[in-house]
Structure 1
């Protein structure tokens, strides 16, 4: 079930009414209802994969339960490794099996050795990369004694399967989301309105920005051999806003929907395209995944402590693993390596924590230096997105070669340039609104006008017009469903 579908528009109010007016008297029943609604939501894609979620839930709940009773260090490690092997094993089979088999056979054929190894026709379960990491955070934190294991299987099941963020995050730590299922929720009108406002902005990001960009991005990348460098640069630019609108739009809808039910999910995007360096970009892009890798991989490896070699090693490990998490393709690994190369100079010169505040905080405009740094950071990010979007590494290199050719200095030519100009206009409006609200939780969280109150309603009517007039409601899937 897609957030940008009629199905969800029917599903959400029904669940909302039942949640607050039928099951609100009993916390346990309310949590049971959350689990049922979440399983129904996920089952609309493929009910067979519900068994994977249930299996992962049972394993990690059981491991946590046993860790509470086990004091022996070795046995505790065995329990932890059971959780790690099961969760990463599920990822390995469904997401990476064919990648490893294909590369394994290719490697042997390079040495004129033939081996028989067939790929499997495996369907990737939607959201598996998200909920496996979410349950892993629970067992790791319980193992490290950072939180008490739960004895409430229903609450734990609701934590794992919570439908707003089940299939594309944010990846919530158990220490933040799980305790919220223990407490009685009361309806808060102001939080609900805020949630609806964030859902509105998320929908605009998805159906107005991302899906309109996707029409031209798909055409340009598919037929990149036939376009000039300037047109290919335009395609990369549009993809940058497609992926940002698509993924941050999903996060906004997920967070807004959660607020309707009395839950607080952590911020997943913080206006990353206004970053002044790559380190700042990664503190603002897909925050939940970056935080997960930092807490459970980067810091255990030693982080930025130790020798220069250790620092370099750890940075490359974290970015390569992050790239590989996104998909079983060498393009994602190259994308990870590229970002590691961007990040390393900042780390080694101790400049990776320079820009921790909001750009031009309290001001209307950035300084010339801030503006140039934003452009530089966006340009580096744009190069990375070419590898992220390309079919393979060769395609990405060929795409980049054409961008850097003399045809870069020609006027972009595209059969549907009228539509492209409209999309660019929408992007400019989008950037202005994002800039205006960059100090808030999301762009329109506290949009204020010095004029009369009716201006606020004019603004919302304007957003509604943009949404329904320019929105693409063809039920296009979110990009991160493939990850």
Structure 2
């Protein structure tokens, strides 16, 4: 039941209305939204609700067990139960065929006969997201960052809350659980802010991301024949397609939650205005970035290592795991390795001070951000490519000759969206755009929303695509 469907609109309006009708009955309200969340998740594929319930039950018991014991060994056993269960389910359903296939390919390369068939495993939507979310709870209880939740249905609601269940943001229990106990309020500011986020998210997805998707698919599907101009526009287009697609989902999720009285964390902060890879990860997929920082990078030793090599190792391991989290393919691992290598390079060369100097000069900052956008666009190549062969073929297309006549029709539209998107992102980073929007006359703001609504109607008439991160 994707956000960009009429089924979700009907579902959400029913849950929204019912939730506020019973607002005076807190227990009933949470139960109602919990059952609605289970229905939302099961509507995709009924059996996967069982996996969600297993993770919920194990982590609920593990949290109570950790808090209820002063014996370090017992506490570690409960933590291990949570980690092994969650990572075991994630590993089997997401990575079993990948690792089996890798072993098969390695054996074949050395002439070792291996005869097995891959399993017919369906990847449960959202498992990467709710697994990390649920695990963070038991880790936080173990480390004393929060108390264990004693109410099963409240904890289950935290894990399964439908706006962020299948594609984030990844929410920390210590930032969300207290909201369940607080009386919800729908202030005029929350109503306006929630509706604006939903509208903005749908425009990003239906108008911008889906438009770019057509030309991205064309470019990568015809990597052997397209010219250099088409290839570069296709690469830039994917950089913005995935941003508009994923940030659009996050905007809708955060907006839907806000209208129901809950606050979810922001997930994006104008990532292509970043001046370095380090800064990019402080702007892109923030909930995952902070999760990897707090639950992988810092436990490995973070930046506190005695040697620089230890810090570099921690950066590489963290980003390799981040790449693997995104997908069960070597191309995703390569994507993580590229980002890890660039983070190490920045740290080794001391580029942080250089970036601070750029920030003081507007034009230098713009040129630096443009350079970094080109670097980031190139790192998206293995992420989007359909395997090694497609990646190599597309990389070769980037250097091909092509005529200016190639820039016609759809490619010209894609180029305009890319240029407009980057210019707007830089302007929003340099100028307080929200205050500017508030100063616009009401008729101008109304016209902007009307044009956005009209664009959604026009562009969705040709059909729409699923959100990219549903595959992760």
For normalisation by structure 1, the TM-score amounts to 0.93
Matches within 5 A, 1:366-445: 367-405=362-400, 407=401, 410-411=403-404, 413=406, 417-438=408-429
- More displaced 10-residue stretch of structure 1: 300-309 or 288-297: 300-309
Please state whether the residue corresponding to 1:284 is helix, strand or coil: coil
Matching residue of 1:477: 466
CA distance 1:125–1:359, shift in 2 (3 Å): farther
**How much does 1:369 deviate?**
1.1
Q: Deviations over 1:52-90 (max 9, x none)?
A: 111110000010011121111111111101100100001
Please state whether the residue corresponding to 1:245 is helix, strand or coil: helix
**How much does 1:421 deviate?**
2.3
CA distance in 1, matches of 2:145, 2:440: 50
The match for 1:457 among 433, 446, 452 is 446
**How much does 1:435 deviate?**
4.2
CA distance in 2, matches of 1:426, 1:229: 19
CA distance 1:228–1:451, shift in 2 (3 Å): closer
Matches within 5 A, 1:64-463: 64-306=63-305, 307-352=307-352, 367-405=362-400, 407=401, 410-411=403-404, 413=406, 417-438=408-429, 447-448=436-437, 450=439, 452-463=441-452
Matching residue of 1:466: 455
CA distance in 2, matches of 1:294, 1:322: 10
**How much does 1:475 deviate?**
4.1
CA distance in 1, matches of 2:79, 2:419: 49
CA distance 1:401–1:342, shift in 2 (3 Å): same
CA distance 1:353–1:197, shift in 2 (3 Å): farther
The number of aligned residues is: 471
CA distance in 2, matches of 1:220, 1:412: 16
**How much does 1:309 deviate?**
1.3
- C-alpha RMSD of matched pairs (Å): 2.2
Q: Deviations over 1:353-374 (max 9, x none)?
A: 87589968xxxxx722111111
CA distance in 2, matches of 1:445, 1:8: 29
- More displaced 10-residue stretch of structure 1: 152-161 or 112-121: 112-121
**How much does 1:156 deviate?**
0.5
- The runs of 5 or more residues in structure 2 that have no matched partner are none
**How much does 1:238 deviate?**
0.9
CA distance in 2, matches of 1:342, 1:230: 26
CA distance 1:450–1:30, shift in 2 (3 Å): closer
**How much does 1:105 deviate?**
1.3
- The runs of 5 or more residues in structure 1 that have no matched partner are 361-365
Q: Is the 8 A contact 2:272 2:422 kept in 1?
A: no
- More displaced 10-residue stretch of structure 1: 39-48 or 469-478: 469-478
Matching residue of 2:8: 8
Q: Is the 8 A contact 1:216 1:235 kept in 2?
A: yes
For normalisation by structure 2, the TM-score amounts to 0.95
Q: Deviations over 1:391-445 (max 9, x none)?
A: 112321221122124x1x633637xx313323433444444544454479xx975
Please state whether the residue corresponding to 1:123 is helix, strand or coil: coil
Name the structure where helix makes up a greater proportion of residues.
2
- More displaced 10-residue stretch of structure 1: 180-189 or 73-82: 180-189
Q: Is the 8 A contact 2:233 2:415 kept in 1?
A: no
Please state whether the residue corresponding to 1:217 is helix, strand or coil: helix
Q: Deviations over 1:137-177 (max 9, x none)?
A: 00000011110000011110110000000000000111111
- More displaced 10-residue stretch of structure 1: 85-94 or 102-111: 102-111
